[in-house]
Amino acid sequence: MLIDTTPRTTDTHSPAGTRAATEGGPYRTMHLRRLLLLVGIATTGATIGVGASAQEAKLSVLWNEGDEAVYLTTQSMAMTIDAGQAGTGESVVEQTAEVSWNVESIDEGGAERIATIRQQPSSMRVEVTGPGAQHGVYDTADEAPPEGVAALLAPSLDSFVRHGWAVQIDARGASLGVALPEAVEKSVGVSSHEPAIRTALDNLATLAAPTLPNELQSGAAEPGFEWTIDAGAGEEGAAPSLAWTCRYAGVRDVQGDPVAVFEWVGAAFADESIKVESTAGEALLDLATGQPVRCTRELEFIVTTEGATTRVKQKFEAQRVD
């Protein structure tokens, strides 16, 4: 939920960079931005539900006021940098969080039905391993204070866990924006209005499930229908634009319950220096409740810059556990 996908090749691989990464002040904000921005790529999409029978196959958001849900999310990112004579480096970030969802209100006064959902983490664990023996673990279950890099992140992560956030989701399943409490913005040192941060917040509040096109909402699409979801394009300061290709795979029986299945079948960055190597994953939506059951997504890509090549592997999974 709070992992950064934006590749970096200079700020933690030199002696100065290593020192910077273990100091406080602006470096804490830098690490939080990187954690947030990872989600901007790893979980680009929006939560969807299913609002009709399997026979009709009309798919739309179906949250109602008072609905509650709990999701367990896990993410990981492994990054390897080869900077030639400057050396190589590896870093790994792993994050697990259990987040409660509570639908506070439904607005049906406009063209789209909009749900306002309060999301509140009940637990969070973030482990960071980097070059130069950098290591740290933030865990809300630990009584002892975190050390190393995790100690820098702790005040901001504490604020996320303490205050939570709210998201608005429309009938297509698209996020209309995440509202961070003022206390969180001050602690993290970022504004939810910044393009890259706004994209990341939208995505951490959704579950790596695709935004629905009109063809699926109307019931006109059959299994095999594909569409593209483009995120981050055209905004200065946003994370690199990434277009995902999603396929509607029809209805599957999972433990006796029919679910709609969506598969991630491709992805491409607008920036030609970032090449996607592989994608995988699927989203499962309960046809009876119209709410997400399980979402997974994997992405591997290579970033080529002057003097360095960076390979990134990301995995994301969300599972309903209530």
Read off the pLDDT of residues 228-245 as tens digits, 9 standing for 90 and up.
Answer: 987 654 455 555 678 899
Is 146 a member of any domain? yes
Q: Print the domain residue range for 157.
A: 15-320
How high is the pLDDT of residue 24?
A: 44
User: pLDDT at residue 190 above 70?
Assistant: no
How high is the pLDDT of residue 286?
A: 84
Alpha helices in the chain (DSSP H): 15-21, 26-42, 149-163, 182-188, 195-204, 214-218
- Give the separation between CA 199 and CA 164, rounded to whole angstroms: 17
How high is the pLDDT of residue 178?
A: 83
Provide the pLDDT confidence category of residue 16 given band limits of 50, 70 and 90: very low
Residue 254 CB neighbour total at 10 angstroms: 13
Total domain count, the chain: 1
Is 6 a member of any domain? no
Average pLDDT over residues 302-306: 91
- Identify the top-confidence range among 67-71, 112-116, 253-257: 67-71
How high is the pLDDT of residue 174?
A: 78
Return the axis-axis angle of helices 26-42 and 195-204, rounded to nearest 10°. 60
pTM of this prediction exceeds 0.95: no
Cα–Cα separations (whole angstroms), residue 221 to 42, 100, 146, 249: 27, 32, 50, 11
pLDDT, averaged across the chain: 78
Is 2 a member of any domain? no
How high is the pLDDT of residue 42?
A: 45
How high is the pLDDT of residue 43?
A: 46
Is 3 a member of any domain? no
Lowest-pLDDT range of 71-75, 201-205, 261-265, 286-290: 201-205
Tell which residue, 53, 37, 49, has the closest CA to residue 2: 37
- Give the separation between CA 197 and CA 184, rounded to whole angstroms: 13
CATH of the domain at 295: 2.30.230
Cα–Cα separations (whole angstroms), residue 170 to 47, 79, 86: 9, 35, 48
Is 1 a member of any domain? no
User: What SS3 class is residue 231?
Assistant: strand
Is 29 a member of any domain? yes
Is 143 a member of any domain? yes
Is 5 a member of any domain? no
